[in-house]
């Protein structure tokens, strides 16, 4: 699925290594969704802001990409 925010890259499913949570993120613009049913241009969070809110760094090293959706 092409990112509905930037329309520049595909959204990927990724696992946060520290807690195992799945998120959906655009590698181009870092738009992040917590559920694949919420993916839309108006319902995203910024990856860095989300990771900071759960006490983790904003680096992509925190993630394991599972698949492109």
How does pLDDT run across 6-41, given as a tens digit for each residue?
A: 999 999 999 999 999 999 999 999 999 999 999 998
Dist CA 36 CA 30 (whole Å): 15
More confident: 42 or 52: 52
Split at pLDDT 50, 70, 90, the class of 42 is confident
pLDDT at residue 69, rounded to an integer: 85
* Domain range annotation of the chain: 12-68
Dist CA 9 CA 42 (whole Å): 17
Backbone dihedral region for residue 13 (phi beyond 0: left; psi -120 to 50: alpha; all else: beta): beta
């Amino acid at each position: 699925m092409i990112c509905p925010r930037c329309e520049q890259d595909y959204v990927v499913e990724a696992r946060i290594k520290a807690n195992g949570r799945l998120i959906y993120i655009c590698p181009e613009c870092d738009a992040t969704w917590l559920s694949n049913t919420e993916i839309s241009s108006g319902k995203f969070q910024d990856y860095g802001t989300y990771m900071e809110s759960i006490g983790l760094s904003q680096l992509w090293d925190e993630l394991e990409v599972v698949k492109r959706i």
